[in-house]
Structure 1
Amino acid sequence: MANRTEVFVSEQVVVLCTCVLSFLGSSLIIITYIIWSDLRTTPRKLLAYLSVTDLLSAVSYAYGVWRAFLTDSVDCVVQGAISTFANTSSFFWTVAIAVYLYVFIVRSSQRVADSLVTLFHLVSWCVPLIITVTAVSLQKIGYDASEVSVGWCWVKIHAKDHVLWMLLTGKIWEFLAYLTLPVLYILIKRHIHRAHAALSEYRPILANGPQSNSFTSMADMKLTLIPIIFIFLRIWSTVRFLLLLTDSPVRQHPVLVTLHGIGNTSQGAANCIMFVLFTQPIRTRLFSQRSSAAPDKRLGPERAFPSNREEDGASQLQADG
């Protein structure tokens, strides 16, 4: 465990670029939420909170990659604490969005879903804060020799119980997200498909309309991509963590290190692509030359997320097209 993973300049440049993209992507999500009042629905609000954590992660990771810490220092501990808090909070908010959508769509209860928001705040902010403050107080945050990072600081690699603290400050929540997200989104997809199948028996013309199919296809694609992208981005850090447990030198391979750096710092950019650039009404607003035109009234509460309209009826879907 006394080894140190060398971080090459090329790796630093690549990871810094993804940090910048995530910073810009997270900022764009937050800005669109602020400036367009008709986007301030609960799922979009949860996405904005997630983007705050992704923005903090991008900034702290960028500083860590740029500094490429070699020893413990005050800024190393500060950077490690901020990234630990932001990264852990990001896991919680990601799962919170999935839980909200599950309750709202599958359980068909907006009241119950909205009542969970307070709990989401308590868990997603307070639990990461308590974990981070405890880790810093016990001097567990610091230089990790880039063994499970890419230049930034995290859990001190020389701490005797470093594996335990790596689990508490991130990995255990990451593992839980791997299990929870696919299950919830599969259940949501199945519910939507069943609702549309039942609807098509009575209103085949409306249910099979091109606008309805287009909207449903986009929602279906996003429900598929959310857990896949999350796992794809995060799996490289998980692999390096497991290789660390077995003391395998493969964890220091430049390709794996680069993939780890890109994955850990790309969540904000990925969310922006899915929920801004791949959301047609928002994309139209951003790129339309008629920037001063009135807001598009067809923009429903959830164009980036599936909504109750996917189960309410094809007529409304067609009207919102």
Structure 2
Amino acid sequence: MAETNRTDVYVYEQVVILASCILSFFGSFLIICTYVHWLDLRTTPRKLLVYLSVSDLLSALSYFYGVVRIFDSDSADCIAQGAISTFANTSSFFWTVAIAIYLYVFIVKSSQRQADNLVLYFHLISWGVPFAITVAALSLHKIGYDASEVSVGWCWVNIQAEDHVLWMLLTGKIWEFIAYATLPVLYILIKIHIKRAHAALSEYRPILTSSPISHSLSSMADRKLTLIPIIFIMLRVWSTIRFLLLLAGSSAGHNPVLVTLHGIGNTFQGAANCIMFVLLTPSIRSRLVALLCCKGQNRHWSSESVSQNRANAHTPTQREENTSPRTLENSEE
């Protein structure tokens, strides 16, 4: 079965997906670095984003290894890579939903204390459930070579297992479906609440709401709340389509375009989060630009100083010739 249904992964697909893995790795790493570097950014929502970025970073690394190797059979590194990607990918689903729940409780319920109290449960669920599922799948020998039926070169659930569909659901797909249903609802409720609050505020503070800066920040936040579930679904839907095609026994799941989109979607989440929450966040983007410019100027000044010192060191005669006799006399005194 593994040989007859195997999906070929072409070189150009590998290149594109590996590039996506690299972007996701550095995107997740940048989110973590900005949180560590700037103390005032250490809010609870951004802390949750860091936990999500850890999952996405680990996921990108495991997928990168799988796409480089293009496994063709069960092996020790295949099983290890499959276990790591299963844990990281499932954890990413949980943290994505956890952030939406936190924002819903914080904004709609207007209770920061209640939202903060949920963080401990987020840790227990978002790390604990994926770990338990992964350990169970490993113990029952369910993780292994899947012939790229619902992957792109990497290992996941052993395609030869009789109950492989059940384990595909348990190790990812069922949580993906829950995220599809949960994220749009939560973010729509948050958007509705913000619009109502904004409308109520405008009745009492027309000058504030007519401010270009206030309007710009409000519209930017509104766009982000719209983009979060849309981007998640657009990235993940291709793997879902291939899973459904596998259930239907269709050969359309081998389509190279669909396979490539699946590979990008599974590996680009960290980069997408970086674009939204770092590069498209003016306060953080301006800090990064200032930091890079400052370092560039320091390098420029340092190189100029070195060049000047070298120039001075190589022209002692000229300096002596330009020195007046009176100065020499003073120095001798």
What TM-score do you get using the length of structure 1 for normalisation?
0.90
Question: Aligned-pair distance for 1:290?
Answer: 4.2
In structure 2, what is the equivalent of residue 234 of structure 1?
236
In structure 1, what is the equivalent of residue 177 of structure 2?
175
In structure 2, what is the equivalent of residue 129 of structure 1?
131
In structure 2, what is the equivalent of residue 67 of structure 1?
69
- Write the mapping of 1:299-318 to structure 2, written as runs, cut at 5 A: none
Stretches of 4+ aligned residues off by more than 3 angstroms: none
In structure 1, what is the equivalent of residue 301 of structure 2?
none
2:131 matches 1:139: no
Matches of 2:225 and 2:156 in 1, distance apart? 32
- Write the mapping of 1:110-259 to structure 2, written as runs, cut at 5 A: 110-259=112-261
Q: Letter of the aligned partner of 1:252 in structure 2? A: H
Q: Letter of the aligned partner of 1:136 in structure 2? A: L
Matches of 2:67 and 2:249 in 1, distance apart? 23
In structure 1, what is the equivalent of residue 277 of structure 2?
275
Higher-helix-fraction structure: 2
What percentage of aligned pairs have identical amino acids? 75
In structure 2, what is the equivalent of residue 94 of structure 1?
96
| Cα pair 1:222 1:274 within 8 Å, conserved | yes
Note the alpha carbon deviations across 1:85-123, whole angstroms, 9 max, x for none. Answer: 000000000000000000000000000000000000000
In structure 1, what is the equivalent of residue 13 of structure 2?
11
Of 282-291 and 139-148, deviating more is 282-291
- Write the mapping of 1:287-302 to structure 2, written as runs, cut at 5 A: 287-288=289-290, 289-290=293-294
In structure 1, what is the equivalent of residue 48 of structure 2?
46
**1:109 aligned to which of 104, 108, 111:** 111
Matches of 1:124 and 1:34 in 2, distance apart? 22
Matches of 1:203 and 1:6 in 2, distance apart? 61
Matches of 2:55 and 2:47 in 1, distance apart? 13
Question: Aligned-pair distance for 1:291?
Answer: 6.2
Q: Letter of the aligned partner of 2:276 in structure 1? A: M
Note the alpha carbon deviations across 1:139-164, whole angstroms, 9 max, x for none. Answer: 00000000000000000001000000
In structure 1, what is the equivalent of residue 80 of structure 2?
78
| Cα pair 1:285 1:291 within 8 Å, conserved | no
What TM-score do you get using the length of structure 2 for normalisation?
0.87
Question: Aligned-pair distance for 1:203?
Answer: 1.1
Matches of 1:208 and 1:229 in 2, distance apart? 30
Matches of 2:280 and 2:294 in 1, distance apart? 20
Note the alpha carbon deviations across 1:39-89, whole angstroms, 9 max, x for none. Answer: 110000000000000000000000000000000000000000000000000
In structure 2, what is the equivalent of residue 308 of structure 1?
none
> SS at 2:132's partner residue?
helix
Q: Letter of the aligned partner of 2:147 in structure 1? A: A
Structure 2: 5+ residue stretches without partners: 297-333
Matches of 1:247 and 1:75 in 2, distance apart? 29
Note the alpha carbon deviations across 1:149-183, whole angstroms, 9 max, x for none. Answer: 00000000010000000000000000000000000
Question: Aligned-pair distance for 1:271?
Answer: 0.1
**Backbone CA RMSD of aligned residues:** 1.0
Matches of 2:258 and 2:133 in 1, distance apart? 28
Q: Letter of the aligned partner of 1:231 in structure 2? A: I
Matches of 2:191 and 2:27 in 1, distance apart? 26
Matches of 1:219 and 1:147 in 2, distance apart? 38
Q: Letter of the aligned partner of 2:224 in structure 1? A: K
Matches of 2:32 and 2:262 in 1, distance apart? 26
Of 121-130 and 200-209, deviating more is 200-209
Matches of 1:193 and 1:136 in 2, distance apart? 47
Matches of 2:35 and 2:13 in 1, distance apart? 33
Q: Letter of the aligned partner of 2:179 in structure 1? A: A
Instruction: Report the structure number with the largest CA radius of gyration.
Output: 2
Matches of 1:37 and 1:210 in 2, distance apart? 28
